Amino acid sequence: MGKVRIMIIAMHQPNFFPWLGLFHRIALVDKFIFFDHVQAQRGKSWLSRNKILLYGEVKWLTIPVKKRGRGLQKVHEVSINYDTRFEKKHLGTLRQSYGKCQCFNEVFPHIEELYAQGYERLKDFNEHYIRLVVEKIGIEVEYGSSLQLLNNCVGSEDIVGNELIVQICKLAKAETYISGEGCLDFIDPQEFEEEGIRFQFQKFVHPMYRQLDTGNFVSHLSSLDALFNIGFAGVRKIIDEAVHKTRTCT
């Protein structure tokens, strides 16, 4: 008799060059759902910016988006603003920041290719990067979209907070949901259990790795920092180790 598959899922917005913690969560699940139907945060957010190191100092890398006259936008509606011709500047900043890193030449061509795609929607740019890293570090996972899952769900536009996450889990036929710890203000694990869905927090401890031009290790940067410093194989190793620790402690 074949092994019964337990559907483990997680979901998150498709952030801009996200931190290692997102890839750790993806490595823990069978299916990762891009949380793309909700309202995009107004102003500065992880959807359009993240932190890198420049000569050992933390700097923000921000992708410009169109806002004027657009009012409130959903994540899947946010468009990239190419009027500022930011692509060359971004790539130049990354060369300046990481050009001397051991794995720069391994990773940078993929980033150049990403910028060359000319994606209209920010979510497509961000998802391309996430899927690229997942593939390169050898994580096997299925993808989904909250927009697609809720497309034919009557009344879903009125569901928010914990109830919304539970509803998506049910639509995705999840048996286990793995949550980040940044949503403690609205998450209620008991509601998941009442629906027969096991709830689990991610419990990610940021790993240390060889980092260029720093006296003290700087954590919680964009995953680009790790990729340029230790490459795809190095990132796979530290994610595998983090996953092993998580499963051992669960």
pLDDT (tens digit per residue) in 37-54: 999 988 889 999 999 999
pLDDT (tens digit per residue) in 83-101: 989 999 999 999 999 999 9
Please enumerate, as own/partner, the contacts of 238-241 that have beta carbons within 8 Å and a separation of 24 or more: 238/20, 238/207, 238/209, 239/20, 239/23, 239/24, 239/27, 239/137, 239/139, 240/27, 241/207
Residue 108 lies in a domain: yes
pLDDT (tens digit per residue) in 4-20: 456 999 999 999 999 99
Q: What percent of the chain has pLDDT over 70?
A: 93
**What's the pLDDT score for residue 185?**
66
Higher pLDDT residue, 172 or 182? 172
Which pair of tokens denotes residue 81? 């603003």
Domain containing residue 26: 8-249
Residue 1 lies in a domain: no
Would you give the distance in Å from CA 231 to the centre of its chain? 18
Residue 186 lies in a domain: yes
**Residue 3 — pLDDT band, cuts 50, 70, 90?**
very low
Which pair of tokens denotes residue 4? 């019964």
Residue 2 lies in a domain: no
Q: Is the pLDDT of residue 1 over 50?
A: no
What distance separates the 2 farthest-apart alpha carbons in the chain?
Answer: 59
pLDDT (tens digit per residue) in 100-112: 999 999 999 999 9
Residue 64 lies in a domain: yes
Cα–Cα distance for residue pair 202/246, rounded to 1 Å: 8
Range scoring the smallest mean pLDDT among 149-153, 162-166, 227-231: 149-153
Residue 97 lies in a domain: yes
Three-state secondary structure of the chain:
CCCCCCCEEEEECCCCCCCHHHHHHHHCCCEEEECCCCECCCCCCCCCEEEEEECCEEEEEECCECCCCCCCCEHHHCEECHHHCHHHHHHHHHHHHHCCCCCHHHHHHHHHHHHHCCCCEHHHHHHHHHHHHHHHCCCCCEEEEHHHHCCCCCCHHHCCHHHHHHHHHHHCCCCEEEECCCCCCCCCHHHHHHCCCEEEECCCCCCCCCCCCCCCCCCCCCHHHHHHHHHHHHHHHHHHHHHHHHHHHC
Number of separate domains in the chain: 1
Q: Which residues pair with 216 in a beta bridge?
A: none
Range scoring the smallest mean pLDDT among 14-23, 120-129, 130-139, 165-174: 165-174
